[in-house]
Chains A and B, each alone.
Chain A
């Protein structure tokens, strides 16, 4: 669906704006954020090492080489999914809250321990959805769990702030009636829209090379993420990429070779 791509893009986007940001991988056993962020060869200690007291938090945090205020916290490759112990995670989250302006938790798929742990501490949640029936249904399920099982719900505080981010969107296919439109998804999930990320080959290029797509100045998806981050911090941005691109006569003929 694009959760890790989105986490990487948001973390980089917030850090580029000068906010001290850390992005945490919660997918125990299926570590991948390190690859997407391009720091897989610099992982020494991980989340579980810190929880078990084998390493300090500072030893495990990886500083991004491109953006000063950006840190990556890798997960462990252990097969024990329950290794993220409640008290340990609580302690790590408290420490990170004190040190960082933004703590991005990259949730694994599903509704198992890892996902529940990732959403538990959330103040805000970005629901990443594809315009596809299975993805929309799963999102609805996660929205229900956020409302019932998050820390804010348990402590009866104000609810988690929810945002919808629609990824892999193809306005051309929507126009032909082949894909759920952004308005359809908004209506079904009744969430405010944070952004539309167009389907783009540059997303694969970004993960291939380990560079968050938001750092690719040429990428439409990167620009869309930049808009979404701006909206997240309260700026007004026009919603781009919701309509098919108007192709000029020349681009129609030569555009293909250029992309």
Chain B
């Protein structure tokens, strides 16, 4: 009898948790960086022995990818990353930046490919942030088509909020 009582409690708790999870999922989707890479590309990349080759003198050509996941276009998402400032207003406030999955001080592996970057645009400039701090960026993710030979498309975001991780 005691067992059943306990299992009931457990069940209720699980249900409550599931409910809470679904409620929070209704808010903003938290995006993982790997989700920005199209599935087939991620697959082929994984099969292709992902280790960085340090043996030769020739540097491996940095892995570049400008393909995007079309389903993500227009979605409002939340994603953590580091800020690389690109444009400021005339007074040193941050206007446009790249959000990147890790801070670029690591030089023994190539930089993240282009579809692992999001170009953030702020409507209103905010005071310059510290590039060594991680931030949660939230806003509408867009896919911008780029008409030139080096790239097809790239992620941009109209940034609604940028807060400390």
Q: Do A and B come from one complex?
A: no
